[in-house]
Structure 1
Amino acid sequence: MNSVRDVLVTATKTLAGAGIEGAGRDARLLMSHALDIAPDRLTLVLPDPMPEEAAERFATSLDRRLSRVPVSHILGRRSFYGRDFIVSGDVLDPRPETETLVIEALAKPFTAVLDLGTGSGAILLTLLAEQPLAKGLGTDTSEAALAVARSNAEHIGVGSRARWLRADWFEGVEGTFDLIVSNPPYIAADEMDALSPELAHEPRGALTDEADGLSAFRTIISQARGFLGPRGRLIVEIGPTQGSAVADMMLAAGFKAVRVLSDLDGRDRVVRAQLPNPHPRNVGK
């Protein structure tokens, strides 16, 4: 009987031969999943014989990965800002670069937050978990995505402070918020064919607007002021070439303190803005 190490080494070579980046990492995660152990305990069982049932589970997972199914979909979860979120083919995987948006959102206190196109709910739920007094609303056009978000809300432990609405951006939204966030579809239609094969397993509507990649920003920015309270903030994730265009939209819409922020790789990733004070001090008095 082959050892866990033998099976792992063979799988790593198979994944690498198929051109999958991070083959060793992926193989270790899939093996941990098949053995139902934490990844940091894998080295302890490498000399052990590979259990038959675990070998079957691992083989199935490996075949799925070779078909370019993302590891997160095989595991059913994805880590984001220190928490595990349930994911599926109905939602966009939360990615490390989106943590740039979360960090900026948490830079100032808020009590009411609106997340447009919430998907898995990772952004909204992270903000609520980090800001215990806040409440939030997440909107999405996909009922399947909202079902995942609801499950994550309970899993993270903030279900009582999160509300969900099936809506196209602001459609049906009522009230005002001191923070609006969004990671909208910003990939242009003519860029889709160049993306990695793994993205074919994520909802296309969460990736592209089927146009120039800026349609969602036009809608969000043009309507956001009607849903923000005094000095309310708007923070959106962008593609790395869209900073100037989105910042100009915000300035044209009357926002102040507009700034383009970079992710850890140095690429433009977030644009944030704030409504001006509605009652500026009269310096002449």
Structure 2
Amino acid sequence: MGDVRTALAEAARALGEVSDTPRLDAELLMAQALGATRDTVLLRYLDDAEPAGFAALVERRRGGEPLAYITGTRDFWTITLRVGPGVLIPRADSETLIEAAVAHFAGSAGPRRILDLGTGPGTLLLAALAEWRQATGLGIDASAAALAYARANAAALVLPAEFRLGDWAEGVDERFDLILANPPYVAEDDPDLASDVRAFEPAEALFAADEGLEAYRAIVPELPRLLAPGGVAALEIGWRQGEAVAALVAATGRSARVVNDLGGRPRAVFVT
């Protein structure tokens, strides 16, 4: 067993087979093994002995297990969330919804009441509450495991969120200034879905019938009764689904526009 510097180099080479960011993965796994931050590893520990648990973490990653499940955390927007098996891992592309909402509410006091449908570990709701500190929020999910993470994340971040087990907006009888949703939208036969995502992340948070549109057919008709006057909604979509979801919105009498992510792909339908 050598030093940290050598172990990182060897791990990065090994992880090149399964990761697009093998060096970053290796550094984050080393930080996990040492109980330190990545920056601290690079500044202080490179000449120390490789920690005993590092090799096992690398093997888990080589087996395809998502990095966030191994480290137990994922950064999103301005917050860090606890995650683990049974919850959808937050992704940077989903920040498109928060960015669109921030742009919409710029120059105003912002939303005061926020709803997150399919909240998972609280990703979108807690990011929004961290952005608008005067707001309170409600997150709904059909997974008790996901809600356990969401409640723990809200408590750790000291954010005013309530979470309920439920079927989308069924039983919700109030109005909201901002509605967020990242529902399952992947078709079962989607060839673009990464194999590790398919193998490790919860199917119920990924896949939807009707070529991925099933959840939108449940959520979109509810928006007119759920949105407060002047309220808006941001719905995450698969990159091929913009026109179909916008058409569902138009059928309710609301206006919709498709918002692209940083990669230039359609990522959200913004409803006004």
TM-score category of the 2 structures, normalised to the smaller one: over 0.9
Does 1:154 find its partner at 2:152?
Answer: no
Number of equivalenced pairs: 265
**Identity percentage over the alignment?**
41
Answer with 1 or 2: which has the greater Rg.
1
| TM-score, scaled relative to structure 1 | 0.89
Which 10-residue stretch deviates more, 265-274 or 1-10?
Answer: 1-10
Structure 2 residue ranges without an equivalent (≥5): none
Q: Please name the residue that 2:249 is paired with.
A: 250
CA separation of 1:231/1:210 partners in 2, compared to 1, >3 Å: closer, same or farther?
Answer: same
Match of 2:65 among 53, 57, 69: 69
| TM-score, scaled relative to structure 2 | 0.93
TM superposition shift of 1:229: 1.7
Q: Please name the residue that 1:279 is paired with.
A: none
CA distance in 1, matches of 2:134, 2:192: 43
Structure 1 residues 114-133: aligned runs within 5 Å: 114-133=115-134
Structure 1 residues 273-284: aligned runs within 5 Å: 273-274=271-272
Contact map agreement 1:189 1:211 (CA 8 A) in 2: no
Residue identity in the other structure for 1:196: A
TM superposition shift of 1:211: 3.6
CA distance in 1, matches of 2:213, 2:227: 21
Structure 1 residues 43-122: aligned runs within 5 Å: 43=42, 44-50=44-50, 54-55=51-52, 57-106=53-102, 107-108=104-105, 109-122=110-123
Structure 1 residues 1-285: aligned runs within 5 Å: 1-16=1-16, 18-43=17-42, 44-50=44-50, 54-55=51-52, 57-106=53-102, 107-108=104-105, 109-158=110-159, 161-191=160-190, 194-199=192-197, 200-256=199-255, 258-274=256-272
TM superposition shift of 1:194: 4.5
CA distance in 2, matches of 1:219, 1:19: 36
After TM superposition, the runs of 4+ consecutive aligned structure 1 residues lying more than 3 A away are: none
Contact map agreement 2:141 2:166 (CA 8 A) in 1: yes
TM superposition shift of 1:167: 0.4
Residue identity in the other structure for 1:89: P
The 3-state SS of whatever aligns with 1:270 is strand
Contact map agreement 2:179 2:232 (CA 8 A) in 1: yes
Please give the root-mean-square deviation of Cα atoms over the aligned residues, in Å. Answer: 1.3
TM superposition shift of 1:142: 0.6
Contact map agreement 2:18 2:64 (CA 8 A) in 1: no
